[in-house]
């Protein structure tokens, strides 16, 4: 059994949906919640990837279910939530980890390219949050919603204007719903990972010189791990964070800071 930070059984009897749960940070969060007792529903666009992920989770004795979903389609999102309720009987946590991004000069970004990212990151997060939130309200037991964001939402991020604008929207949505839905006992927070060593990100720093250049920009001098992100996410979703609401929790080794003229 891998090390977990929270007591085992923290999420016993609960159900969590993790979009983008087939790989990367989303998969890591699903695995950690599962290790802590949750039944996890992983949603994503690629059925084969989801099935592989579920098999891996089941190998660890985690109750897991794959529901192929394109978060850009509100009908598929409704079906995801309905099927989760029909299969597991409840919904306690939603993790919005589905994302899409590419690096492009803004003057070369097409309308379709903009829409592909904004529809996934901003609209998809709203569709999932709305569908899950309505069920949580109906159940009357409260709930927790956590969205993965990025610090370029507030610093700006040249050559990723689509993702920057979408993540900034998710930050604003998080803070807004945290206030609106608190009386339903639904907590809404964001997790903001810095550069994290995932399979998807690894090609970006496959060249050792490039890895060195990027690490030099991170005060602690290394990339984050999926496990670190997953443990932070689990804390924010757990009862230990019952008073944490509308927070954007940055976990990046100080990467977004230290950009002053003297550093
Ligand atoms: C320019 C591009 C492009 C690129 C796609 N497009 N990739 N334009 N440079 N590299 C344009 C296409 O030309 C098209 O516009 C439009 O976007 C839609 O492309 P499709 O491939 O048809 O769309 P789709 O299959 O829906 O792809 C969605 C995607 C894709 C977001 C574009 O990259 C994707 O699904 N990625 C998922 C994996 C991923 O991105 N993970 C990163 C998440 S991590 P036209 O006009 O030609 O029709 C993250 C933080 C990373 O977000 C931080 C580091 C920067």
For the chain, 263 residues long, the average pLDDT of each consecutive 10-residue run is: 81 98 98 98 98 98 98 98 98 98 97 98 99 98 98 97 98 98 98 97 95 96 98 98 98 93 82
Tell me 23's DSSP state.
S
Tell me the two tokens of residue 153: 């939402």
Write the burial class of residue 71 (CB in 10 Å: 0-12 exposed, 13-18 middle, 19+ buried).
buried
pLDDT at 258: 82
Q: Which of 167, 172, 170 is nearest to 157 (CA)?
A: 167
Superfamily of 15-250 according to CATH: NAD(P)-binding Rossmann-like Domain (3.40.50.720)
80 lines ligand 1 (CB under 6 A): no
In this structure, the residue with its CA closest to atom 6 of ligand 1 is: 113
The residue contributing the CA closest to ligand 1 atom 41 is 100
In angstroms, rounded to a whole number, what is the distance separating the alpha carbons of residues 214 and 205?
A: 8
CA 155, CA 171: separation in Å to the nearest integer? Answer: 13
* DSSP H/E element including 249: strand 248-251
Give residue 113 CA to ligand 1 midpoint distance, Å.
6
In degrees and rounded to multiples of 5, residue 256 shows phi and psi of: -80, -15
Give the ligand 1 atom nearest the CA of 110.
46
Q: How far is the CA of 116 from the centre of ligand 1 (A)?
A: 6
Q: Is the CB of 104 under 6 A from ligand 1?
A: yes
Res 179: pLDDT: 98
Domain residue limits, the chain:
15-250
The set of catalytic residues is 152
112 lines ligand 1 (CB under 6 A): yes
Ligand 1 in contact with 200 (CB < 6 A)? yes
113 lines ligand 1 (CB under 6 A): yes
pTM greater than the 0.75 cutoff: yes
**Amino acid 84: pLDDT:** 98
The closest-lying atom of ligand 1 relative to the alpha carbon of residue 113 is 17
Distance 263 CA to ligand 1 centre (A): 34
What pLDDT does 2 receive?
Answer: 63
- Of residues 179, 80, 185, 177, the one with CA closest to residue 139: 185
pLDDT at 4: 74
Residue 167: name the closest of 191, 186, 200 by CA. 191
Q: What is the pLDDT of residue 262?
A: 84
């Amino acid at each position: 059994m891998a090390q977990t930070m929270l007591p085992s059984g923290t999420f016993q009897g609960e159900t969590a949906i993790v979009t983008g749960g087939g790989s990367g940070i989303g998969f890591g969060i699903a695995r950690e919640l599962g290790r802590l007792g949750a039944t996890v529903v992983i949603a994503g666009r690629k059925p084969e990837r989801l099935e592989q992920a579920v098999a891996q989770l089941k190998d660890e004795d985690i109750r897991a279910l794959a529901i192929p979903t394109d978060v850009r389609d509100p009908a598929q999102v409704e079906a995801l939530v309905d099927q989760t309720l029909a299969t597991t009987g409840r919904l306690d946590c939603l993790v919005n980890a589905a994302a899409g991004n590419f690096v492009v000069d803004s003057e070369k970004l097409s309308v379709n390219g903009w829409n592909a990212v904004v529809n996934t990151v901003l609209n998809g997060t709203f569709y999932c949050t709305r569908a899950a939130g309505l069920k949580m309200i109906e159940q009357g037991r409260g709930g927790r919603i956590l969205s993965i964001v990025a610090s370029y939402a507030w610093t700006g991020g040249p050559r990723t204007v689509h993702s920057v604008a979408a993540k900034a929207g998710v930050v604003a949505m998080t803070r807004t719903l945290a206030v609106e839905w608190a009386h339903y006992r639904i907590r809404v927070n964001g997790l903001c990972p810095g550069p994290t060593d995932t399979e998807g990100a690894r090609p970006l720093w496959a060249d050792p010189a490039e890895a060195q250049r990027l690490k030099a920009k991170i005060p602690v001098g290394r990339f984050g791990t999926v496990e670190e992100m997953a443990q932070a996410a689990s804390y924010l979703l757990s009862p230990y964070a019952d008073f944490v609401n509308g927070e954007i929790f940055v976990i990046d080794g100080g990467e977004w800071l230290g950009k002053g003229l003297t550093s």
